[in-house]
């Protein structure tokens, strides 16, 4: 009698997440409009990008753009790829502040291109 193991083939999203876990890079970056959306994006281990929400962290940013990551591996990725961004906080969520001339969509494109570039190099 033959026994066949049931193998569940991973979805593209699972493969992407597995690749990024090994390379310490986030799987995706998305825009968020409020704190709830930021938390939802971070729960999926993705990068959240939003405008400054003034009550979140006391610092000298006036209407800049914030990039949020979860965990030290993703923090290291952002620090390496974008050394000019100002690091703001560190608990379980790390935030980076971008001041001056940047747009939300421009920052999103930059991060996505660095993620794709790193994935290509590591493949």
Q: Digits of tens for pLDDT over the chain (123 positions)?
A: 454 555 566 676 666 655 544 446 788 899 999 888 998 999 988 999 998 875 555 666 666 788 999 888 888 889 988 888 888 876 778 888 887 777 889 999 999 999 888 888 776
Evaluate whether residue 62 is within a structural domain.
Answer: yes
Evaluate whether residue 11 is within a structural domain.
Answer: no
Exposure string over 100-119, b if 16+ CB within 10 A, otherwise e? eeeeeeebbebbeebbeebe
Closest CA to 26 of 63, 81, 97, 66: 81
pTM: 0.72
Structure tokens at 38: 């930021």
Q: In total, how many domains does the chain have? A: 1
Evaluate whether residue 56 is within a structural domain.
Answer: yes
Evaluate whether residue 91 is within a structural domain.
Answer: yes
Evaluate whether residue 81 is within a structural domain.
Answer: yes
> Which range marks the domain in which residue 83 is found?
44-122
Whole-number Å distance between alpha carbons of 15 and 56: 34
Evaluate whether residue 61 is within a structural domain.
Answer: yes
């Amino acid at each position: 009698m033959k026994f066949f193991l049931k193998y569940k083939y991973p979805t593209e999203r699972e493969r992407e997440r597995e690749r990024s876990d090994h390379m310490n890079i986030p799987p995706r970056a998305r825009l968020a409009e409020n704190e709830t959306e930021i938390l939802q994006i971070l729960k999926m281990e993705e990068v959240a990008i939003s405008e400054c929400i003034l009550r979140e962290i006391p610092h000298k940013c006036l209407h800049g753009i914030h990039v949020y990551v979860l965990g030290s591996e993703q923090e290291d990725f952002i620090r390496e790829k974008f050394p000019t961004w100002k690091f703001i906080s560190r608990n379980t969520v790390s935030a980076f502040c971008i001041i001056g001339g940047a747009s939300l969509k421009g920052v999103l494109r930059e991060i996505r291109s660095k993620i794709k570039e790193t994935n290509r190099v590591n493949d």
